[in-house]
Structure formats: C-alpha cells, structure tokens
Amino acid sequence: MTKYECILTETRGNTTIVTLNRPEKLNAINEKMLEELGTEIARISQKPEVRAVVITGAGRAFCSGADVGEMAKAATGTPMDIR
C-alpha cells in the first residue's frame, strides 16, 4: 500500500475507498492532496479488478473545497496579474 500525507486508501474486494484525510482543515484540497489523488487514481485505473471507487472524507466534513489559505501563499503577482 502506498503511503500518502493527505489521503488514505483501502481496497475491499472490488472496491477501493479513498479518504480525504485533512480533518483539521475540513479536508480542504491543497496541491499535495491533488497530486496524491492523481497518483492514486492512476494506480487504481491499472487494476482491472477494481470496479468501484468510493471517495469519502475523514472527520465531520467530506470536503470544504479548495484550501484558499495555501492558494494565497502560492499566488504571486498582483490580483490583476492573476486575473
């Protein structure tokens, strides 16, 4: 099993469960989570025995959206440049 920072994975029979695992941030999506999700979905797509993927969230929220705090740190330039 691959170890990730922001997601957990578990396969039960023909189903893989992917859990967004940033409960302290209500599972807000950051760049690391996007990278890990892409890697895991690519890995799952190579397994013909997996017939379903369930995506869930740890803690009290499924996903609160994008982590705007991290996005603001990554943004460079003026608002007009970004627009």
Does 81 reside within a domain?
no
pTM: 0.84
pLDDT confidence of residue 82: 59
Does 37 reside within a domain?
yes
Does 82 reside within a domain?
no
Does 72 reside within a domain?
no
Mean pLDDT in residue range 7-15 = 98
Range(s) of the domain holding residue 17: 7-67
pLDDT confidence of residue 77: 66
Does 47 reside within a domain?
yes
For 26-83, what is each residue's pLDDT tens digit?
A: 999 999 999 999 999 999 999 999 999 999 999 999 999 999 988 777 767 666 665 5
pLDDT confidence of residue 70: 84
Does 80 reside within a domain?
no
Does 79 reside within a domain?
no
CA–CA separation, 64 and 49 (whole Å): 31
pLDDT confidence of residue 25: 97
Total number of domains in the chain: 1
